[in-house]
Structure 1
């Protein structure tokens, strides 16, 4: 059976317990075996992480040790998928650059705060993760992120929506959802999800459902492959 770990905690304003519950119901409805925990202790178990098909972090801010980040990195590099949303994945563990490298981005601002009305534009309408969804409107925080140019962008939003210092740079297309690879593993991120109700239904829910399942399916494809070819002799974190 496909096995997923949902781990939640950190800043309570993002309703991590409720978001974790959305993900639990989403994955169990697809037949996955799901473990939900409000602890990061599982990140101390390298073999346990490598036995998983999917890791779903729901941790805004907080701290992550170098050892725990390395254990996650090695598990994902060997095929365990990692997927999540909003600050629970890309505003988690701000002091850990390895985490940011794995996930492909880091939140830096949400100009105007919550309640911003904006359009999410699907940039690859034929991609299996967004096919048939189409552009849609949301009213929530609009995330400005620093992102890895290697990300494969599925959806974007236009900044600025409200004027601030960033407005001097003119309009920019900011990624909302992307996929990427980390070794043999699949990574999926969606910037929506400031509150649980934002992702509890509609297009955001469907995007995340597909993204989480896609990330989990990478484990089977990685079976039998080694990661030696990815090693850099001088790498360290």
Structure 2
């Protein structure tokens, strides 16, 4: 199978550095709630970035976002920070970099449940984790698995030829099913539907975006809601979608 970085259409170009180096640069920002294993999760994809010509810089806080000189040279931000906090200058730097062409990509709570106190971040990303309804009460045993429900990820018909989703059909997962609040500026590539079960307080099915993209200025944003644990990230379809999503969001390095 060809590399997803070869199979997708890249974002807007950035000229080479003055020293002539041609490598693209990826900034991995990871941290926040440890339950999402931000170090181990991002370590799964860092080798893939390196194999496809990225110089990878890893940080454990969003502090680099506030450095405009650094961010001007970043072609892709891979963020894996659940909850936590971001300062005003850090967020402003991130948003400016994306508007100028830096790609922003991530999965699960590392991008869709970051920086809850910053509404401008929600505006940038376009969708926010609201909850992951657990199993019916009678089936719960007081462990993390109470939140793991069998559900389906359904690619949208319009996404059939999208470079991120091409060849991917419906697939099932047993993990957290994200109920997401989103706006209509997101380009939804796949959805998931929360059914109505006995005892649920909602009265009709609720469909949320599960995979989406967003264009912000010259930059591209990619979000995948599956990815709670390493086994989910290893699922063949989830893994492929994320690798393709990183490729799609990344800015092209012009000759």
Q: TM-score, normalised by structure 1?
A: 0.88
Distance 1:163 1:51, change over 3 A: farther
Structure 1 partner of 2:182 = 147
Greater CA deviation, 170-179 or 38-47? Answer: 38-47
Structure 2 partner of 1:135 = 170
How big is the shift at 1:200? 2.3
Greater CA deviation, 31-40 or 4-13? Answer: 31-40
Which has the larger Rg? 2
Distance 1:161 1:57, change over 3 A: farther
In the alignment, structure 1 segments of 5+ residues that lack a partner are 224-237
Structure 2 partner of 1:228 = none
Does residue 69 of structure 1 match 2:69? no
Structure 1 partner of 2:161 = 126
How big is the shift at 1:103? 0.9
2: CA distance, partners of 1:11 / 1:164? 30
1: CA distance, partners of 2:216 / 2:69? 18
In the alignment, structure 2 segments of 5+ residues that lack a partner are 1-22, 135-145
Does residue 29 of structure 1 match 2:51? yes
Q: Which has the higher contact order (CA 8 A, sep 6+)?
A: 2
Distance 1:172 1:37, change over 3 A: same
Distance 1:3 1:162, change over 3 A: farther
1: CA distance, partners of 2:69 / 2:225? 30
How big is the shift at 1:33? 1.4
Does residue 94 of structure 1 match 2:116? yes
